[in-house]
Amino acid sequence: MTEIIDFLTSAKATELAADPRVLFLAAVIFIGAILMRSKFVLLLLFGVGGVLAVIRYVNLGPGSAPLDQQMLTFVGGILAVAVVLIYFLFIKGD
């Protein structure tokens, strides 16, 4: 159990998302979801990709922009992703 916790605490999502194997797996899942017309899988991929894009855009590292501006950009991006997901999951009918 401690090995799993150590792995999760040391893993970096942005490095994992840039791994070619993970990108290939995401592309295969995306194509499969399109062929099977799975709205939920497509929205899951959009949500994960959107959150990773917001995190990478905001660049939460030290020394780039004031923390207040980074936080506002992060919150705005996450809210935009959430609004799109809520719209497609709950508002727009099939």
The predicted structure's pLDDT at residue 94:
60
The predicted structure's pLDDT at residue 65:
63
Average pLDDT, the chain: 79
6-10, 32-36, 65-69: segment of lowest average pLDDT = 6-10
Q: What is the pLDDT of residues 39-60, one digit of tens each?
A: 889 888 889 888 888 887 777 5
Contacts for 43 with CB less than 8 Å, ≥ 6 apart: 85, 88, 89
Residue from 55, 30, 27 nearest 43 by CA: 30
Predicted TM-score of the model (pTM): 0.69
Residue with the two structure tokens 């791994």 = 19
Judge contact between 47 and 81, C-beta under 8 A. yes
- Per-residue pLDDT band at 79 (split at 50, 70, 90): very high
